[in-house]
Amino acid sequence: MLIVLWLSEVVFLNDIYKLIKTNSITNAGNDIVEEIDRKHIDKMIQKVARDNGACVTVTDDFGNILYKGDFNNSCATQLSLSEFTTRINKALENRNTYVDKTQREEHFVSEILPNFDVKMGTRIINEIKYTGISMKDNQTYFVFVDAVITPLSETVDVIRKVIFFVTLIMSVLAVIIGVFLSKFITKPIIQIHEQSKHLLNPDVKQETVKGYKEVNELSKTLQETSIELQKVETLRNELIANISHDLRTPLTMMGGYAEMMGDLPNENNPENLKIILDETRHLTRLVNDVLDLSKMKSGNQALNLVSFSITELIEQLCHRLNAMKTVHGVKIEFIHSEDIHVEADEMKISQVLYNLISNAINYSGESKVVEIKQTRMNNEVLIEVIDHGPGIEEEALSTIWERYYRSNNNHVRSSIGSGLGLSIVREALIAHQANYGVHSTVGVGSTFYFSLKVNQ
């Protein structure tokens, strides 16, 4: 802004002044030419002379002065005959309007010496001379508007001094404001930036950066993000530790038994082979469950909705599970009164049922009975998987759905499942927007349930 001010008011002041003055004199001259036959033209001429510090002369075609506008002795120099004719000729050649810029030298007293002599100086005076010819009602008017367009040097000096002080004050203000702004705006941002480098580091506490409203909000968001990120980081580390623990144990057992069977011919018996096979199965299930869960979590697995009989699906599952030796004499009862069709992803619902029923079998306890109840409630079907096993403690009820975590942090390798079964159930049911949950009483048993819309 200061540069623009300096350029316009100091460096180019003369040029800008000349341009503006030339334009306004030309416009004023044109206005007079236009309005010359109006009633109060003399007042307009006075006004133009006053506003522009100009000498306005209007003559008829014989050179007789009709109107004259003089301001502050601006008509000091008389129009000579030769100048009169030259200007009129030029105007006639230029479609009745001619604007000329001239320069003349002027002498002035520059200094009074001690002996009262004076020292003379000369200065260049730029002038603009407007000539216009107006022809109205067979009468010709010649309009002359003359004005000095050199800005008065005293005025220029004053302007320059003012600008010098303005520049000085503005520069000091700019420095003060700059320092203040950088403290107020930049400093908290730098602090936040420094803290954001340690988002994942739980050892570096995220301090609240105090500043203006936006900085406070940014700092708060960053703190929350840091807490969330650290949670995710902890979960990730725990997950990797738990999974690798569960992968290592069967692998160690399999390796150990295989080596033993190779080294000692006596140990090469069906029992040891069964241990290796069991561990292989366990490992396969773990890997499959991890894959299933990650597929569901990524959310890009579309549901393959088909209409099928859920009653038939449960019957088939019971039949299969009853036939399997792993059930260890657990009796599976399916209580239902009608055949109900639902529209859902058959594979996923089958997996849900399989996981719930095998959990119920695994935790059936002494009773060795697992019940599956199918109840129709208006346009929904409620499926309950009930066992009379040890039950689940109240505080663990919400965490059992979390993948791979136990309510206590000491991870123990699941002796039966992969530890992901219920997470898979939850993901599949959420994808179906189904209602699901668990009721459980320690020592009495648990009931896992979900409901689906009936396909009429």
Chain contacts with ligand ADP (rule: CB under 6 A) = 355, 359-360, 363, 387, 389-390, 392, 400, 414, 416-423, 446
Q: Which is nearer to ligand ADP, 146 or 387 (CB)?
A: 387
Phi/psi of residue 397, nearest 5 degrees: -60, -35
- Smallest separation (angstroms) from ligand ADP to the CB of 375: 19
Please name every residue paired with 375 in a beta bridge, in sequence order, or none if there are none.
Answer: 382
- Smallest separation (angstroms) from ligand ADP to the CB of 321: 14
Closest residue to ligand ADP, judged by C-beta, is 417
Angstrom distance (rounded) from CA 35 to CA 453: 91
- In DSSP notation, 183-228 reads IIIIHHHHHHHHHHTTTT-TTS--PPPP-SHHHHHHHHHHHHHHHH
Q: Which is nearer to ligand ADP, 29 or 419 (CB)?
A: 419
Q: Which is nearer to ligand ADP, 68 or 406 (CB)?
A: 406
- Smallest separation (angstroms) from ligand ADP to the CB of 454: 26
Of 272, 279, 270, nearest in space to 251 by CA: 279
Q: Which is nearer to ligand ADP, 222 or 392 (CB)?
A: 392
In the numeric block, the tokens 């980081």 are attached to 233
Angstrom distance (rounded) from CA 17 to CA 25: 12
Angstrom distance (rounded) from CA 47 to CA 69: 8
Angstrom distance (rounded) from CA 272 to CA 40: 127
- Smallest separation (angstroms) from ligand ADP to the CB of 241: 16
In the numeric block, the tokens 């038994």 are attached to 257
- Smallest separation (angstroms) from ligand ADP to the CB of 183: 55
Q: Which is nearer to ligand ADP, 67 or 450 (CB)?
A: 450
Are the C-beta atoms of residues 400 and 437 closer than 8 Å to each other? no
Q: Which is nearer to ligand ADP, 206 or 364 (CB)?
A: 364
- Smallest separation (angstroms) from ligand ADP to the CB of 333: 15
Q: Which is nearer to ligand ADP, 14 or 414 (CB)?
A: 414
- Smallest separation (angstroms) from ligand ADP to the CB of 442: 9
Are the C-beta atoms of residues 372 and 383 closer than 8 Å to each other? yes
Please name every residue paired with 108 in a beta bridge, in sequence order, or none if there are none.
Answer: 121
Q: Which is nearer to ligand ADP, 19 or 240 (CB)?
A: 240
- Smallest separation (angstroms) from ligand ADP to the CB of 243: 13
Please name every residue paired with 141 in a beta bridge, in sequence order, or none if there are none.
Answer: 60, 134
Of 341, 376, 354, 332, nearest in space to 420 by CA: 354
- Smallest separation (angstroms) from ligand ADP to the CB of 180: 59
- Smallest separation (angstroms) from ligand ADP to the CB of 235: 16
CA separation (Å) from 105 to 28, 154, 417?
26, 18, 110
Please name every residue paired with 123 in a beta bridge, in sequence order, or none if there are none.
Answer: 106
Q: How far apart are the first and last CA of the chain?
A: 78
Q: Which is nearer to ligand ADP, 74 or 359 (CB)?
A: 359
Of 415, 393, 431, nearest in space to 304 by CA: 431
The one-letter amino acid at 431: A
Q: Taking the CB of residue 283, how many other CB atoms lie within 10 A of it?
A: 18
Q: Which is nearer to ligand ADP, 267 or 402 (CB)?
A: 402
